[in-house]
């Protein structure tokens, strides 16, 4: 059962409802959104009419009986859709499509700054760059760690772009949150529950990637772990799933976009770089993602892909990224949105 409180409900009123929820035998989990607070009531609600009792309390707007196992992520909880603010003024899930771009890994101060300037010029609204890298082989470049975070934050500051970077373990959450505007959970960690729980307790947005073998329900339940700990700012990212096809690195599940849009109020972005694994397929998948209703894109860009320390084959050169952005604007317009 989800109790939705009226916009601008006062703290003492929220407390009053929370107490009543406890009295009725439920465990209340509060989620404070930008406009409203909702209380997720965990407990057995079968055969009772507790929803009516709660609905009668003054600051309660409505009580929702959510049938899905993901209660807070369910579209029922917020039919108009959630907008997640990243940095000072970038909104994901609003009218504007947000493109996040940058290299797979931060490699040096000069590298990240040069790419940041170029992607900004082409119209990207946020900068990505990995410092803690989840590499398949232990001998591959593992990222620059804290030094990489510092370089990324500096490039972000210089260009005014909010920065997105991955966090792999619960112990690193605090450090990464000190530098990043958005913390990314990579595909391989989508069901790292201790990490998700920790991210539920911070006040920065989380970009949650779908795993290689994650069903949509499992994906939404992973998001629920973050929401249920109190962090309402979750952005979902479809980045391709593993199928029998080997011509591309993964298979971009385009249909996941409308399915997610129906099932959840959380914003959905698409990463065509990791989905396809080859830069030449990236632009067409960017256009397809926007046509399918995505709220944004996450694209890998590198000035010198041949020498990139990770994911060079799927990275667009800045010139190619610029052309993609120019073409993208037509698709964005066709969907009635803005870039
Ligand atoms: C990345 O964004 O660089 C990354 C490792 O992505 P994924 O977790 O989707 O493989
Ligand atoms: Mn990568």
Q: Which residue is it, tokens 């959510």?
A: 66
Phi and psi dihedrals of 232, rounded to 5?
-85, -5
Helices and strands per DSSP (H, E), number in the chain: 11, 14
Residue of 292, 258, 299, 256 lying closest to 276 (CA atoms):
299
In 3-state terms the chain splits into helix, strand, coil percentages (rounded to 5) of 40, 20, 40
Which residues 6+ apart lie within 8 Å of 333 measured at CB? none
Q: Which atom in ligand 1 lies closest to the alpha carbon of residue 298?
A: 2
Angstrom distance (rounded) from CA 200 to CA 46:
28
- Residue with CA closest to ligand 1 atom 4: 186
Sign, CA torsion 51/56/57/62: positive
Q: Which residues line ligand 1 (CB under 6 A)?
A: 104, 130, 134, 186-188, 209, 239, 271, 274
* Phi-psi sector, 19: left (phi>0), alpha (psi -120 to 50), beta: alpha
Residue pLDDT tens, the chain, 339 long: 999 999 989 999 999 999 999 999 999 999 987 778 999 999 888 888 999 999 999 999 999 998 899 999 999 999 999 999 999 999 999 999 999 999 999 999 999 999 999 999 999 999 999 999 999 999 999 999 999 999 999 999 999 999 999 999 999 999 999 999 999 999 999 999 999 999 999 999 999 999 999 999 999 999 999 999 999 999 999 999 999 999 999 999 999 999 999 999 999 999 999 999 999 999 999 999 999 999 999 999 999 999 999 999 999 999 999 999 999 999 999 999 999
How far is ligand 2, taken at its centre, from the CA of residue 128, in Å? 10
In the DSSP assignment, the letter for residue 241 is B
Query: Rounded to an integer, what distance in angstroms lies between the CA atom of residue 284 and that of residue 277?
Result: 13
| CA 310 to centroid of ligand 2, rounded, Å | 6
Predicted model pTM? 0.96
CA distance 212 to 192: 14
């Amino acid at each position: 059962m989800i109790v939705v409180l009226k916009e601008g409900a006062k703290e003492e009123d929220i407390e009053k409802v929370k107490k009543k929820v406890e009295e009725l035998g439920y465990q209340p989990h509060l989620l404070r959104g930008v406009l409203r607070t909702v209380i997720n009531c965990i407990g057995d609600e079968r055969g009772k009419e507790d929803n009516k009792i709660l609905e009668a309390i003054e600051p309660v707007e409505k009580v929702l009986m959510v049938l899905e196992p993901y209660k807070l992520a369910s579209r029922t909880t917020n039919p108009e859709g959630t907008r997640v603010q990243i940095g000072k003024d970038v909104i994901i899930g609003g009218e504007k499509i947000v493109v996040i771009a940058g290299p797979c890994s931060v490699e040096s101060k000069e590298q990240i700054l040069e790419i940041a300037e170029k992607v900004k010029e082409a119209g990207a609204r946020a900068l990505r760059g990995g410092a803690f890298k989840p590499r398949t082989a232990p001998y591959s470049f593992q990222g620059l760690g804290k030094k990489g975070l510092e370089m990324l934050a500096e490039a972000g500051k210089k260009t005014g772009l909010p920065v997105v970077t991955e966090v792999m373990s619960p112990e690193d959450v605090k450090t990464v949150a000190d530098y990043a505007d958005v913390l990314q959970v990579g595909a391989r960690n989508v069901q790292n529950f201790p990490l998700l729980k920790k991210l539920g307790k911070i006040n920065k947005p989380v970009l949650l990637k779908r795993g290689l073998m994650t069903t949509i329900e499992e994906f939404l339940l992973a998001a629920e772990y973050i929401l249920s700990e109190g962090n309402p700012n979750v952005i979902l990212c479809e980045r391709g799933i593993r199928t029998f096809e080997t011509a591309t690195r993964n298979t971009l599940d385009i249909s996941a976009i409308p399915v997610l849009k129906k099932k959840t109020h959380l914003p959905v972005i698409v990463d065509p770089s990791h989905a396809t694994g080859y830069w030449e397929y990236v632009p067409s998948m960017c256009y397809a993602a926007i046509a399918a209703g995505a709220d944004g894109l996450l694209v890998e860009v590198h000035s010198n892909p041949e020498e990139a320390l990770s994911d060079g084959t799927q990275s667009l050169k800045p010139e190619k990224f610029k052309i993609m952005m120019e073409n993208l604007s037509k698709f964005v317009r066709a969907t009635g949105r803005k870039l």
